[in-house]
Homo-oligomer: A and B are copies of this chain.
């Protein structure tokens, strides 16, 4: 079994060694740029770990792992245009550094490159791998659209929110794991358990992200703490708070959400105080833990030796227990 550090080094090395054509440079430079900004490389690591879980050859999983990372970064490049985001990992987004047309087209070609890497799997699993990849990609696009639709809606329910993050975030974790499992020649049943594990883990991961956005350590959290509160983002925390807030809290929360001008820090403190009074953090932790437990149960059903499971188990714990 390969350690998490080993696998991450393998991925970083492969990302660095990937070369794109020199011309047209507006098409390929943004790919190298975005890929070089780093990130946790969580999704490609999951592909390799899944292959390793079934004693597969991780060298066979490397191209598909890179494909998954390229796909993820392609969605970030396009999402950043749609969200008009100026920064990504503290650096200018592609559409900000170049322009929108470049970010659209460079993203498109990045998606093609992802397919080019993905089809390097063995012929006997090619069709199945591509079906998973296509389904995953469809889910991610649907999730992004639903997320954008939420911005224009007054009310969003918790089940709707969970379905949105399942599509936008979790299916790709599940898909990455299932592709890795197929490369490792897992049985259909085991591959499906691993997919389910990834999907539930992905939901827990996103809920943890929502919690950290409000309660994270500003020193450790990569993004601006309170960003979701400032932008009225309908996260698990806000939706739950709107459901549970009563009397003065309900009135004040709605007032804070309606402000057109405000001091960011003051709004964050005020909303957080309401969350604290209702116990939103604890409720969110419980929800997050429920999905983490659901993930664990699926993982336990997979028929491989306990020793093989340690690395992926450790990685899952880091993901949902992370402080940043």
A→B interface (CB under 8 Å): 24, 26-27, 78, 81-82, 100-102, 104-105, 107-109, 111-113, 115-116, 119, 123, 126-127, 130-131, 134, 137-138, 141-142, 144-146, 148-149
Contacts and interface: CB of A to CB of B under 8 A. Distances in A.
A81 B108 contact: no
Given A82-B104, A119-B127, A119-B134, A27 B109 contact: no
Given A24-B146, A101-B148, A108-B78, A130 B119 contact: yes
A112 B127 contact: no
Given A105-B148, A116-B138, 11 more contacts: A24-B149, A27-B141, A78-B108, A81-B104, A105-B141, A105-B145, A115-B134, A119-B130, A123-B126, A123-B127, A126-B126
A127 B123 CA distance: 7
Nearest to A143: B24
Given A104-B81, A104-B104, A142 B111 contact: no
30 contacts: A24-B142, A24-B145, A24-B149, A26-B149, A27-B142, A27-B145, A78-B104, A81-B101, A81-B104, A82-B100, A82-B101, A82-B104, A104-B104, A105-B141, A105-B148, A107-B108, A109-B138, A109-B141, A109-B142, A111-B111, A112-B137, A115-B115, A115-B134, A116-B138, A119-B127, A119-B130, A123-B126, A123-B127, A126-B127, A130-B130
B142 A115 contact: no
A18 to B, nearest CB: 15
Nearest to A123: B127
Contacts of A109: 137-138, 141-142
- How many chain copies does the complex carry? 2
Nearest to A141: B109
A323 B246 CA distance: 71
Nearest to A148: B101
Contact of A112 (B82, B105, B138): B138
B105 A108 contact: no
B134 A116 contact: yes
Contacts of A149: 24, 26
A37 to B, nearest CB: 21
A132 to B, nearest CB: 11
Contacts of A131: 119
A123 B130 CA distance: 12
A213 B47 CA distance: 51
Contacts of A119: 127, 130-131, 134
Contact of A141 (B108, B127, B142, B146): B108
A261 to B, nearest CB: 25
